[in-house]
Structure 1
Amino acid sequence: MLIIVVSLKYLSFVMRADNAGEGGILTLMSLAGRYASDKKTALVVVIGLIGGSFFYGEVVITPAVSVMSALEGLEILAPSLEAYIVPCAVVVLTILFCIQKHGTGGVSKVFAPIMLLWFIVIGLLGFRSILASPQVLYALNPSWAIGFFLQYKSLSFFALGAVVLAITGVEALYADMGHFGKMPIRYAWFTVVLPCLVLNYFGQGALLLRNPEAIKNPFFLLAPDWALIPLLILAALATVIASQAVISGVFSLTRQAVHLGYLPPMRILHTSDMEAGQIYIPVINWLLFIAVVMVIVTFKHSSNLAAAYGIAVTGTMVITAILSCTVAYQNWHWPKIATVTILTILLCIDVPLFTANLIKVFSGGWLPLLLGLCMFIIMTSWKSERFRLLRRLNEHGNSLEALIASLEKNPPTRVKGTAVFMIRTTNVIPFSLLHNLTHNKVLHERVVLMTIKTVDTAYVHNAQRVTIEQLSPTFWRVVTRYGYKETPNVENIFYLCGLEGLSFRMEETSFFLSHESVKLSKRPWYLRVRGQLFLALNRNALRAPDQFKIPPNRVIELGTQIDI
């Protein structure tokens, strides 16, 4: 599994599908839908959102099961310490989530040496055990695995549900490309992580050959008695760091979902001046912390969580295989026979793993499925209801060109300065402009209709970011484009406009924004529930001035009531 799934599938094949260095299931969705027809795009979006939802389910369980499994070494040290495992796990994870605001870069300066030491230690422990029972190396012969499957057909199928635990976090490798880069991940895996993991897994097998009773905890029993406490401490630190990988991955996934319009705007903080991919999202960090703590307190033991683990991971793996092969065929123009062959091979591995884990549904597997379902409902509800709102805002039917011509011919009272009206769609009259004319009956001497768009690429070059069009002697249209990995900033937009000949002075500019008070029209109960969810998300969404870095003292909000 380490070779086929991690090394070949993800690091050699899937990681080729990056969008300006960004990875993750939503990146695959965006790439796969770029050249697809409308019907196929809709299917790709649904598949991608399901995969993203599975990843959210995985992220909640991974820190809990990792930290608890490490701290359960306390039972070997002293069985009476078992009662302290859950409280210690909560304390450790609290510290981990508290330091997230310092960013991946700051955290990695502490974590990197610890992880290097961790892999060296577990590799040496495994090597020491292999020397004591070298016959374990017979397992390198694939005939043993084939014979096991032929002799124990039912048992071997159920065993696949446990095998997947050896490749947990593989999806986070792909999602974390934007944080660490493609080549550092590959170098670390092939030079350090893979060799040490193989040695340790074979070492545990060798230990079980010598002492079958060590099955209760073969990892910690690899160490001599004097090294148990240092190994316990090192394991706790290592599992915390492993949890960091999936937390960073969910930050990246959430930012993509926000910019692609599947989650409401939220505060995204950049934690590095050098790496745009290093971010921190406070609301996601603390919601995830609450969910992880609830899972730990509810399940209380890593073996219970292990039963819940696997469905989300393998479900995401199946979807990743489908989308990555779609990208290979449509975007990279690989031969159809080659992509179909690769997809068949990948699914022959991923589908049995997913099917084997389905038996865990009633023993805890319902948890990631429930979490994934909740995230899928949230993302689809926000996208569909937001589309419904925008359609209602744009259906008044008035012509922008006719309004501008009328205002130029019979202008209202003009005042000094520049008015920037934020507009979501070009060629549509913003409600804020209509309300300003209706109630204030004035117009600034220069009017700019500004649209900020998010495109399906990670970055947009500054030379292509701003498009300026003069609609009349006093009206201008400015369209700006940002990648889903970027954060819009009006000061940067003004600077780029100045290079194109349209200069602004912030102290002489007023931003007019529409504030919609949304009400639900009569609809079936299930659509009303979805509408209520949208209203709750909309009330707590990041406001436009904070989203676009507009100085608060330059903002004027004009409200309107909309029924959807």
Structure 2
Amino acid sequence: MSHSEPKSFKATLALSFAALGVVFGDIGTSVLYTFQECFHGAHPVPIDYDNVMGITSLILWSLIIVVTVKYVWIMMEAENKGEGGILSLLSLVPAPLRYNAAGTLAAASLLAVAGAALLFGDGIITPAISVLGAMEGLELANPDYVQYVVPGTITILFLLFAIQRTGTARIGKYFGSIILVWFAVIAFLGVRKIIGYPVVLRAFNPRYASHFFVHEGWSGIKVLGSVILAITGGEALYADMGHFGKKPIRIAWRTVVLPALMLNYLGQAALILQDEKASFRPFYSLIEGRGVAYYALILLATAAAIIASQALITGAFSLTQQAIRMGVFPRVKIIHTSEDVQGRVYIPFMNWLLAFSCIAIVLGFQKSERLAAAYGLAVSGTMLMTTLVFFFVAHYRWKWELWKVLPLVLFMGIVDIAFLYANLLKIPDGGYLPLMIGSVFFLVMMTWQYGRAQLSKFYRERSKTMDGFFNEIDCKQTRRIPGCLVVLASTENKVPPVLARLVDSMHVIHEHVVLVTVTTVDAPFVREDERVRVTDMMHNVSRVIMKYGFMEAMDVPEVLSRCYFSHMNGFPKDSATYLLGRETFIINGDSLFERARQLCFSAMSRNTTSASDYFNLPSSQVIELGAQLAV
């Protein structure tokens, strides 16, 4: 459920603490592999004083510019009734800029859908690299343990996905405490090394970052593909704003997360400057010896990685739900796991897709440094898409003048493009993976939206008007049978084709008819007093317009049971009949591309969750009437 901003300081601190376990796990575990990737990744740079200080400065200023300025300060102001994230941001864009006249997606929507598709790729890679990076600490403890790293990672990932349906709510209350301990420990480890080599604090001077680019040239640009690992999770701060509010997230970031991250990165830099060999596993090398403290750190890092993975899994569920409600993703089964929290959902299809994809990635890449080459492209792509969609919101929704919005968007865009360009260079080394995953999701989302738009157009052009329908009933003396018939309608002012087919073929109609149109509004939630509008028409026919937010569960029978109808003494929830259409599509495209797109849409339509499940209709009271369509 979306949180409004807390009014008391105590409530704010409580939400800030809770946010630690949900929002900051991803960015908090980046310390496990970021420095190692910079010096031993796809595009490594030599280890010397200038390079270590330059990369440290880049990491520090990336945390300041991208996460603090862009996401924590700027993007969190672009909220839709408290909700954040790229699809929520899209809902703030005026409708004419989201859809073309034909109902297909316009530029702003294409950008947001592309960003969302890349986020799905991030959701697949993050659990794999986080848990794998944590488990690799065993290698330093004992080289013989290397054989247990991959099997252990796969076991943890499988168990994590297996408990999604029931297990996370019970253990979730401990996440905040564990992550708070994690940040305290990584800050402490960093401070110990900084005290021994305080010169490293000079990395706060951005001159070291600029000197690094001048000195390294092309290699300096390439290393941004590794530096971005330090800011993965920045999008999560914005996307999870609806769960905690922007003020608690901002407080947690400024007082706990940012200082701890900076101290740890500085500590790793100080260690590498004193011992070049430590660059292979700089995080775990912050602890001398291989005693109890070392194994405790591995255990804590693994717990933090699991929590970070949980946040990405939950985010993928929420993103899927938003995409379905906004009509850009096929309907899949959504299970609401909490009666108290509206936004807490479990999506079986997405859960097991993520599970087997993560396991396949671990088996394929084996080591976090190999997987790190694949990481970052999805994040940098989404960052750029978010910036571009923000331009549409700021200029066209908030009415900012171009002189005000362009410098801001250009500044953020240049930073995003630099990171994206550096990550595109990693495509041969593994960057193809998020690109492939994102492309598949993008094609699925685009095909589904295009197909639904064409289907809506087809029905609009061929549906009968209500007046014409009533005239037919009068002229043909259609027989009325006892009972109440509920018909789902895609348009608000015409007769649903499935109802017209029923009357034409059976020459009967129920005594009471309710036409229901369910719409998703550009907001996460809808107030109950604005939920429904009932219009009674002639012949005991009523039209009901229901509104839902893109974060809400749909329950048509429950809403109808609270409606008043002039021709009925209460809605017969337990005896009403629900009439649904079931379309079979004829593949008739003129080109190979058109036929392929029609075939994909037809396959997705056959395998989506049924409308009865989607709208929570009782299956024993549902009748489906089929039709073949050439759209």
The match for 2:85 among 8, 24, 28 is 24
Please give the secondary structure, in 2, of the residue aligned with 1:436. helix
Match of 1:207 in 2: 271
| CA spacing shift, 1:11–1:34, aligned 2, 3 Å | farther
Q: How does 1:397-416 map to 2 (within 5 A)?
A: 398-408=464-474, 410-416=476-482
The number of equivalent residue pairs is 564
1:466/1:480 contact within 8 Å kept: yes
Once the two structures are superposed, residues 449-478 of structure 1 have per-residue CA deviations (whole angstroms, 9 ceiling, x without a partner) of 111111222122222221222221412111
Match of 1:447 in 2: 513
2:374/2:427 contact within 8 Å kept: yes
- Residue 39 of structure 1 and its aligned partner are, at CA, apart by 5.8
Match of 1:237 in 2: 303
| CA spacing shift, 1:496–1:229, aligned 2, 3 Å | same
Please give the secondary structure, in 2, of the residue aligned with 1:274. coil
Please give the secondary structure, in 2, of the residue aligned with 1:100. coil
- Residue 279 of structure 1 and its aligned partner are, at CA, apart by 1.5
Question: Which residue identity does 1:510 align to in structure 2?
Answer: T
- Residue 432 of structure 1 and its aligned partner are, at CA, apart by 2.6
Query: What is the rounded CA distance, in whole Å, between the counterparts of 1:154 and 1:433 in structure 2?
Result: 66
The 10-residue stretch of structure 1 (296-305 or 23-32) with the greater mean CA deviation from structure 2 = 23-32
- Residue 299 of structure 1 and its aligned partner are, at CA, apart by 0.8
* Counterpart check, 1:377 vs 2:443: yes
Please give the secondary structure, in 1, of the residue aligned with 2:327. coil
Question: Which residue identity does 1:257 align to in structure 2?
Answer: A
Query: What is the rounded CA distance, in whole Å, between the counterparts of 1:95 and 1:18 in structure 2?
Result: 35
Please give the secondary structure, in 2, of the residue aligned with 1:334. coil
| CA spacing shift, 1:383–1:118, aligned 2, 3 Å | same
- Residue 397 of structure 1 and its aligned partner are, at CA, apart by 5.2
Query: What is the rounded CA distance, in whole Å, between the counterparts of 2:603 and 2:125 in structure 1?
Result: 26
| CA spacing shift, 1:179–1:286, aligned 2, 3 Å | farther
Match of 2:322 in 1: 256
Unaligned runs of 5+ in 2: 1-61
Once the two structures are superposed, residues 111-135 of structure 1 have per-residue CA deviations (whole angstroms, 9 ceiling, x without a partner) of 2211111111111111111111111
The match for 1:13 among 36, 52, 74 is 74
* Counterpart check, 1:333 vs 2:396: no
Query: What is the rounded CA distance, in whole Å, between the counterparts of 1:119 and 1:48 in structure 2?
Result: 32
Query: What is the rounded CA distance, in whole Å, between the counterparts of 1:105 and 1:190 in structure 2?
Result: 27
Match of 2:531 in 1: 465
- Residue 353 of structure 1 and its aligned partner are, at CA, apart by 1.1
| CA spacing shift, 1:546–1:128, aligned 2, 3 Å | same
Query: What is the rounded CA distance, in whole Å, between the counterparts of 1:247 and 1:278 in structure 2?
Result: 11
Once the two structures are superposed, residues 190-222 of structure 1 have per-residue CA deviations (whole angstroms, 9 ceiling, x without a partner) of 221111111111110111121111111110010
Once the two structures are superposed, residues 477-523 of structure 1 have per-residue CA deviations (whole angstroms, 9 ceiling, x without a partner) of 11111111112212332134139996302134211111112221243
TM-score, normalised with respect to structure 2: 0.86
The 10-residue stretch of structure 1 (540-549 or 498-507) with the greater mean CA deviation from structure 2 = 498-507
Please give the secondary structure, in 2, of the residue aligned with 1:516. strand
* Counterpart check, 1:362 vs 2:428: yes
Query: What is the rounded CA distance, in whole Å, between the counterparts of 1:163 and 1:186 in structure 2?
Result: 23
Q: How does 1:65-464 map to 2 (within 5 A)?
A: 65-102=129-166, 105-225=169-289, 226=291, 227-396=293-462, 398-408=464-474, 410-464=476-530
Match of 1:53 in 2: 117
The 10-residue stretch of structure 1 (168-177 or 70-79) with the greater mean CA deviation from structure 2 = 168-177
- Residue 95 of structure 1 and its aligned partner are, at CA, apart by 1.4
Query: What is the rounded CA distance, in whole Å, between the counterparts of 1:34 and 1:406 in structure 2?
Result: 36
Q: Percent identity?
A: 39
The match for 1:545 among 612, 618, 627 is 612
- Residue 435 of structure 1 and its aligned partner are, at CA, apart by 3.0
| CA spacing shift, 1:80–1:104, aligned 2, 3 Å | closer
- Residue 287 of structure 1 and its aligned partner are, at CA, apart by 0.4
| CA spacing shift, 1:363–1:311, aligned 2, 3 Å | same
The match for 1:530 among 593, 597, 617 is 597
Query: What is the rounded CA distance, in whole Å, between the counterparts of 2:96 and 2:64 in structure 1?
Result: 32
1:103/1:271 contact within 8 Å kept: no
Query: What is the rounded CA distance, in whole Å, between the counterparts of 2:371 and 2:98 in structure 1?
Result: 41
Query: What is the rounded CA distance, in whole Å, between the counterparts of 1:100 and 1:366 in structure 2?
Result: 29
1:514/1:559 contact within 8 Å kept: yes
CA RMSD of aligned residues (A): 2.0
2:80/2:524 contact within 8 Å kept: yes
- Off by >4 Å, runs of 4+ in structure 1: 37-41, 499-502
Query: What is the rounded CA distance, in whole Å, between the counterparts of 2:585 and 2:214 in structure 1?
Result: 62
Question: Which residue identity does 1:98 align to in structure 2?
Answer: A
| CA spacing shift, 1:348–1:391, aligned 2, 3 Å | closer
Please give the secondary structure, in 1, of the residue aligned with 2:588. coil
Please give the secondary structure, in 2, of the residue aligned with 1:101. coil
Question: Which residue identity does 1:78 align to in structure 2?
Answer: N
- Residue 261 of structure 1 and its aligned partner are, at CA, apart by 0.8
Once the two structures are superposed, residues 344-400 of structure 1 have per-residue CA deviations (whole angstroms, 9 ceiling, x without a partner) of 111221111111111101110011111111111000111111222233334335333
2:560/2:571 contact within 8 Å kept: yes
Query: What is the rounded CA distance, in whole Å, between the counterparts of 1:39 and 1:420 in structure 2?
Result: 32
Query: What is the rounded CA distance, in whole Å, between the counterparts of 1:499 and 1:223 in structure 2?
Result: 72
Question: Which residue identity does 1:134 align to in structure 2?
Answer: P
Please give the secondary structure, in 2, of the residue aligned with 1:236. helix
Question: Which residue identity does 1:254 align to in structure 2?
Answer: T
* Counterpart check, 1:520 vs 2:587: yes
